[in-house]
Structure 1
């Protein structure tokens, strides 16, 4: 706070006015240190100023957490003016450019007329688009043209459209998240103190910093929507092991009444602990650094922190490091964040947002948009959205998408390099993370999912072209297609278990393996596309429907309250009969190369189910009552698994096509009628 106050008193030297209301907010957060740690990690050494003309904000934070905090504050204030987020190096270039502009304009202005970049209100956007930002990316920009008036209009229309889809989080929910993160941070520090005392670690370690909670992903980027989860990372000193995190800390969380649906996935590629903390979903990772203490102002972007770490810790740290690099490598963070909200909404509505199922996850979509921002550094969000579809609808895959030149820090970790690693040559849609060690964030993409994504890129380009031409509105871009009207053939994948607790874990494990079934189906020469719908449908309790599954709307809870009995072997069953009660299902649409052809999918389906069960046994995931089953169905048979509200329009579309085919005169008949006439 002393740093901020000192800068405030020196405002006359910069010809700027400090944002008074922001100072009040930071003072309030400072009283509650836990909330402050959760929001900006107690790093208040940020420079926040506001120009005399309210057309442009200049924010110069020393840390990304502070930058995200200020961005969220400006959004909560409903500030309509554009603002620019810069670092200290760009600030020097900004001031130099303004001084040069003032000197060049003095000769042509009457005495007493204001000079400089803020002489008129309409010059604010011009300042924002001056070429003071350094060149970013692997290539030079395609266009650095200033925005046109229509770009501002379309951007405002885009904001209004996004509001109708509730992508902006309410103020009350934002502060609730901050309180949850503060509570989680206090629990983590309490656990660390107990572990350090148990290991007889010197007490000065806790005084200098025993550990900390960092956020990453959409929350750290400031683009999370209402109800979204929070990706967090627990960073501890070298005295704590991962086994302690997944045992003693897990037990501590179980004792908290606010924690629900807690489950640990220690055997995952990136070990994670999932939970609902006071209604907020949190994915908590773990990383142990080779430091004797973790200061609250620790900069995770330093490569030196990776020294002597194991691969799992490096993967966990990669989330925060990649998020920091993305923000650093985009020319305008404000435009990037608004456009990213639109891209994420579009991908979710179109059914192509899922990393585990072979589509793209949040990090991959952010990397793609960041590359478009580098190619069009002065474009506004509406224009960025159009250029995003333009660039990647024509991208020559498997040419990789890179935000910067890959580096090798020399710590021995494997980086994505198809020249060295044979397996990297088979990646179909490589999007490379910008932080060392560089990895491909889309290694799960298959032939089918790439085909579907490219089709959506072309469709998005056509729609945004019409939007920019004024032929339609932005809401058309976010229309949701009817998946069950798209294909004639489907595979229904059913995962069942005895209890609600077992079902939660079993669903997560099954979903992580579905992409292997898709790959197996793709190897069938008669199948052109195997399209998995990235929605898990809960079923009504099986014993209430004669053992037959019936899907409910996504988000519905099918876990009824029933008596659970513990058997001698410790396995939980419902009502003591051991029969599966809870079921979830996924649907895979199939498109064949030829029509009216007989295809035997028995081998592909049986191989997948047997392999999944075998891997579950080896991973200690298998439980009594957990089953997996795959069934082939036609579209007209979907009524057996889906309620009418979910099938609305799907079966009607199929009946309409069949009637059109039946009623249409054959080619031979049309020729005969023409000859007779």
Structure 2
């Protein structure tokens, strides 16, 4: 292992520690590598040879195509053979962290006389005709246009970039900023993948240490359900940059130490301060490409977990992160830190870190999104469109003041429907509600409709008759005990059905979709249930409430009335709206054991406090660009909501109360007497956390 000895360093700050590994660190690294072997994160020697062979065949196909196109455009035989053109790799394969069955991200670089239209026409046809090439799917209108294919059993994503050069020389490097001259935005974005990957490898002190640690973090993120850029989590390049930054801060550390410090650094990180691997490159050539800068671009100031790519033009790779996905990831950082500390002292094994998340036991309420198509090929295209819009639904749910978190599971699940020849794919969103001092009714009609509109109005749907006529989208509410209706028992063991305590009546159908109006038939005031206080108030979800029953029921009307029919846009778009009533919680007989929240090793605490202060100063100095938080926006929004609520209460006080309203008011007055106690409990938990 190469040691960090020089006065220079990679990154925008100096390292936190340059300590070399101890024998225990080497032992833990060996155990980590042995553990990773069990999960198939390493490719076999045969697999690596096969991938190299496939890349060679693809490169030959590219060169032949460029020669043919060049001759069609007036080049002589000799000139056509000299213009060049080649394949580059990026992503996990280029970083050296791909595993068995992983795809390969590739980029076709062509000279200036080869157009993008040539790539998506003649080259696509060449792929269709090529031996051992299957499942060719072109997506020319994507943000980064791509052709997806399978070459001799290896899945590949192939991008295209046309450089402003008459000839592509052998051994061309893509980090030269001058190559970006006179390129359109799509070519710049296509080149960015290779430029970022190459920059990351240049900026880490020890590539082998980096690779093993990154394999571990990627496996952990996938097993814990937080690996998906499209759904608002982090993608592969973002995880790679976080691990690379950790390596810069601990340049001599072993891979096991890097994994531990990864959780320590980013659990303590002062988000939304950005993470950078290097100081921003200046635009010395006057290219005037848009870069991430919250001082210039107001939208950049609202990014919650900015991780900035190291190559010009610098971009935030995590702009999709939402409040809910950020909170889920931070909770996983805390869990990972606790486990790694126990691993470091020999209390736990590495397998515990990689235990999969039990998503379907976390919440009492879920939203089920089901995409249906008439065949599997159409479902592949349809599901990609639906998945790309799910984060819009997450954002709308987060805007609902009664929803604390909307936790989307990035894993999609097939659904088998008896006597149906259609293909189905489902996604699940777990909901955690803000439990107030009284009952609350939640209607998700607006949020769901906004999501459906984003799908219906998307250009990809409007331009595809197959999608408009051969697909369907259903959005439903499901309680945890009903998940066995959607998923197999090996994923969700069936739970015994419980009787509904309060029926729901359906009234006033809307011309667009059916709205549900909940009527609670109360014969006597309900007795508030009690809860067990947990160490972490953030982990207090509906599923952890001992008795506070959250009741929800979807509509129960005829099939033709409950279906949301679009006018030929999609076969049908169905939404079962639900009003959710959450009872009050009485915390009077609960106690908190303060000592259980304190660390027993005071010397370790003192060392970690000092290191935490270093992290805090790092996250401030790591930012060469100022990021503004959205606290002011949130505050003004909260004030507006409070004002609106106060106005509504004032108007309501002038209206005579009916029997049901009188009972509800008695419940609210009774629970208001203990509301301040719940606040004190949460504050105390937060203080000792």
| Same fold per superposition (TM over 0.5) | yes
Residue aligning to 1:390: 264
Report the CA distance between 1:321 and its aligned residue.
0.5
- Aligned partners of 1:130, 1:435: CA distance in 2, in Å? 24
Q: Where does residue 329 of structure 1 map in the other structure? A: 203
Q: Tell me how many residue pairs correspond in the alignment.
A: 505
> Relative to structure 2, which stretch is displaced further, 193-202 or 329-338?
193-202
2:363 match = 487
Structure-1 separation of matches of 2:434 and 2:219: 32
Would you say 1:583 and 2:424 are equivalent positions? Answer: yes
Q: CA deviation at 1:614?
A: 1.5
Kindly indicate whether residue 246 of structure 2 is the aligned counterpart of residue 372 of structure 1: yes
> What does residue 506 of structure 2 align with?
none
Supply the distance in 1 between the matched residues of 2:265 and 2:4 (Cα, whole angstroms): 23
In structure 1, the residue matched to 2:95 is 221
Deviations along 1:101-149, one digit per CA (max 9) or x if unpaired, are xxxxxxxxxxxxxxxxxxxxxxxxxxx2250473111111111112111
Sort the Cα spacing of 1:203 and 1:377 in 2 relative to 1 into closer, same or farther, 3 A: same
SS at match of 2:112: coil
1:425-481 Cα deviation digits (max 9, x unpaired): 111110000000000000000000000011101110011000001111111100001
Alignment pair present for 1:399 and 2:240: no
For residues 532 and 263 of structure 1, what CA distance do their matches in structure 2 show? 27
Q: What is the alpha-carbon distance in structure 1 between the residues aligned to residue 480 and residue 384 of structure 2?
A: 27
Is 1:526 the counterpart of 2:367 in the alignment?
no
**SS of alignment partner, residue 392 of structure 2:** helix
Q: Distance in 2 between matches of 1:401 and 1:659?
A: 37
1:418 equivalent to 2:294? Answer yes
Deviation, structure 1 residue 610: 2.4
Q: Tell me which residue corresponds to 2:126.
A: 252
| 1:432 equivalenced with 2:329 (yes/no) | no
Preserved contact between residue 369 and residue 427 of structure 2 (Cα < 8 Å): yes
Partner in structure 1 of residue 452 of structure 2: 609
Equivalent-residue separation in structure 2 for 1:130 and 1:428 (angstroms): 33
Contact 1:218 1:224 in 2 (8 A): yes
Check whether the contact 1:233–1:286 (CA below 8 A) recurs between aligned residues. Answer: yes
Report 1 or 2 for greater relative contact order, CA contacts < 8 Å, sequence distance ≥ 6: 2
**Pair 1:355 & 2:229 matched:** yes
- Cα distance in 2 for residues equivalent to 1:282 and 1:631: 35
Using the alignment, how far apart are the partners of 1:658 and 1:143 within structure 2?
40
Render the CA deviation track for 1:552-601: whole Å, top value 9, x for unaligned. xxxxxxxxxxxxxxxxxxxxxxxxxxxx7111111111111117632111
Structure 1 residues 133 and 321, CA gap change in structure 2 (3 angstroms):
farther
Cα deviation code 1:132-186 (max 9, x no counterpart): 4731111111111121111111111111111111111111111111111111111
The correspondence of residues 49-64 of structure 1 with structure 2, limited to 5 A, is none
Tell me which residue corresponds to 2:12. Answer: 138
Higher mean C-alpha displacement, 206-215 vs 476-485: 206-215
Trace 1:110-121 onto structure 2 (pairs within 5 A). none
Output the CA distance in 1 between the equivalents of 2:321 and 2:334: 18
1:301 is aligned to 2:175: yes
CA change 1:654–1:318 in 2 (3 A) is farther
Contact 2:389 2:454 in 1 (8 A): no
Displacement after TM superposition at 1:668 (Å): 9.8
Contact 2:71–2:80 (Cα < 8 Å) also in 1: no
Match of 1:291 among 148, 153, 165: 165
Shift of 1:627: 1.6
Structure 2 match to 1:600:
443
Contact between 2:229 and 2:320, CA under 8 Å: does it hold in 1? yes
1:623 to 465, 468, 475: 468
Q: 2:4, 2:205 within 8 Å by CA — same for their partners in 1?
A: no
Secondary structure of residue in 2 paired with 1:245 = helix
- Indicate the residue corresponding to 1:154 in structure 2: 28
Instruction: Work out whether 1:451 is the aligned partner of 2:327.
Output: yes
Does the C-alpha gap of structure 1 residues 417 and 619 become closer, same or farther in structure 2, counting only changes over 3 Å?
A: farther
1:660, CA displacement in angstroms?
6.8
| Contact 1:321–1:435 (Cα < 8 Å) also in 2 | yes
1:496 matched to 2:337? The reply is no
Q: Report deviation, 1:203.
A: 3.5
Matched, 1:190 2:35: no
Q: Residues of 2 paired with 1:453 and 1:654: CA distance?
A: 33
Please give the root-mean-square deviation of Cα atoms over the aligned residues, in Å: 2.4
Deviates more, 1:379-388 or 1:275-284: 275-284
Equivalent residue number for residue 555 of structure 2: none
The reply on whether 1:240 has 2:81 as its aligned counterpart is no
Say which SS state the counterpart of residue 49 (structure 2) adopts. helix
Q: Is the 8 A contact 1:350 1:480 kept in 2?
A: yes
Cα distance between partner residues in 2 of 1:369 and 1:465: 18
**Pair 307,380 (structure 1): closer, same or farther in 2 beyond 3 Å:** same
CA deviation after TM superposition for structure 1 residue 618, in Å = 3.8
Q: What SS is found at the alignment partner of 1:270?
A: coil
Paired residue for 1:62? none
Shift of 1:260: 2.2
Whole-Å separation in 2 of the counterparts to 1:657 and 1:229: 37
**Does the 8 Å contact 1:238/1:291 carry over to 2?**
yes
**Which residue of 2 is the match for residue 554 of structure 1?**
none
Q: What's the CA shift for 1:539?
A: 2.3
Could you give the per-residue CA deviations for residues 480-516 of structure 1, whole angstroms, max 9, x where no partner exists? 0111001111111111111222111111111111111
Aligned-residue offset at 1:208: 3.0
CA positional deviation for 1:278:
1.6
Instruction: Give the Å deviation of 1:359.
Output: 0.2
- Report the counterpart of residue 42 of structure 2 in structure 1: 168
- Tell me the residue number matched to 2:623: none
Matches within 5 A, 1:260-299: 260-299=134-173
Is the contact between residue 205 and residue 247 of structure 2 (CA under 8 Å) also seen in structure 1? yes
In 1, are the aligned partners of 2:362 and 2:543 still within 8 Å (CA)?
no
Q: How does 1:204-215 map to 2 (within 5 A)?
A: 204-215=78-89
SS of 1:644's equivalent in the other structure is: coil
Distance 1:583 1:130 in 2: 53
Aligned-partner Cα distance in 2 for 1:603–1:628:
16
Q: Is the CA contact (8 Å cut-off) linking 1:485 and 1:651 kept in structure 2?
A: no
When residues 489 and 188 of structure 1 are mapped into structure 2, their CA distance, relative to the original with a 3 A threshold, is same
**Cα gap change, 1:238 to 1:375, in 2 (>3 Å):** same
Distance 1:594 1:256, change over 3 A: same
Q: Residue 175 of structure 2: SS of its match in structure 1?
A: coil
Deviations 1:312-344 (A, max 9, x none): 100000011001110111111110011000010
More displaced 10-residue stretch of structure 1: 491-500 or 622-631:
622-631
Q: 1:221 to 1:620 in 2, by over 3 A?
A: same
Contact 1:142 1:375 in 2 (8 A): yes
